[in-house]
Copies of this chain bind each other. A is one copy, B any other.
Amino acid sequence: MNFKEKLRDIVQENNSLLCVGLDIDSEKMPNFLFGNSNDPYFEFNKSIIDATKDIVCAYKLNMAFYEVLGLEGFILLEKTISYIPNNILVILDGKRNDIGNTAKKYAKAFFEILNADAITINPYLGKDGVIPFLNYKDKCSFILCRTSNPSAGDFQDLNFENKPLFSFVAAKIKEWNDFGNCGAVVGATYPDELKIIRKKLGNDIPLLIPGIGKQGGDIAITVKYGTNRKKEMAIINSSRGIIYAGNDDDFAESTRKAALTLKDEINLYR
């Protein structure tokens, strides 16, 4: 089963476009876990997954939050990925990029060793840095197009013949989509750009959309502009707003509540 089939199935099964970002951070996690558990980080991730696995379509693990834990983080990453039920998508958000010979190693690391369903990559190096990822035909590579951060426009908005850089990236994503396994990352914080990019990419390319929640993206507009004609093919991510919704013994319940609310709000506009 390839990525898009898996996406279609889980979106239907859980009736959800919601992706929860497992961005573990000891400063924000419930304090009691560090007193009570031998493996507080995994305990945390496990609780979040148990509490949300019937209401999400994907989990996104941002590599930075695992790499900062050193060796322990690497073990945690593998353990967490294994714990995620098979029908739910695992997106490893590493924004990797390198020349072809080296990109091949990253692709192997993420798709074969860590067994991700999808990853994020950075397009700055152009086609030969992207192809090694796309050669994994059943996986999906979400290419950064318009990011959600305040300085996203520093380069992404530079105009070339009256079209911004992100628009050229979108055109390349379409061009590189021979195997139908390209996706694009577009921040919910820039609705106009989101609209332009969805229009350019058509109905068949999935968008990974961060920027909801803490970063301030509007849900109604994100759903309107980010989904395709069938109101699908958008994976809407929230991390901090969901996994740190509670800080007490019942943090997992708070997380479930926050995830349900967001899932329902997204569906309201579909």
Contact = CB atoms under 8 A, between A and B. Distances in A.
Contact of A65 (B105, B127, B129, B153): B105
What number of copies of this chain does the assembly contain? 2
B147 A102 contact: no
A168 B155 contact: yes
A11 interface: no
A122 B100 contact: no
A268 interface: no
Interface string A92-128: 0001111110110110110001100000001111111
A179 interface: no
A196 interface: no
Given A95-B122, A168-B155, A64 B103 contact: yes
A149 B122 contact: no
A125 B150 CA distance: 9
A64 B114 CA distance: 13
Among the interface residues A95, A123, A127, which one has the most CB atoms of the partner chain B within 10 A?
A: A95
A149 B125 contact: yes
Contacts of A25: 105
Chain A interface category by residue count:
35 or more
Interface string A157-176: 01110000100110010000
Given A124-B144, A126-B151, A151-B129, A97 B95 contact: yes
A96 B95 contact: yes
Contacts of A106: 64, 67-68
A125 B102 contact: no
Interface stretch (A70-78, A223-231, A244-252): A70-78
B99 A149 contact: yes
Interface centre among A98, A148, A152 (most CB of B within 10 A): A98
B99 A98 contact: no
Given A123-B155, A153-B126, A155-B126, A105 B168 contact: no
A150 B165 contact: no
A47 interface: no
A219 B240 CA distance: 49
19 contacts: A62-B102, A64-B96, A64-B106, A67-B105, A68-B106, A68-B108, A95-B96, A97-B97, A124-B124, A125-B154, A126-B149, A126-B151, A126-B152, A126-B153, A128-B149, A128-B151, A154-B172, A155-B165, A158-B160
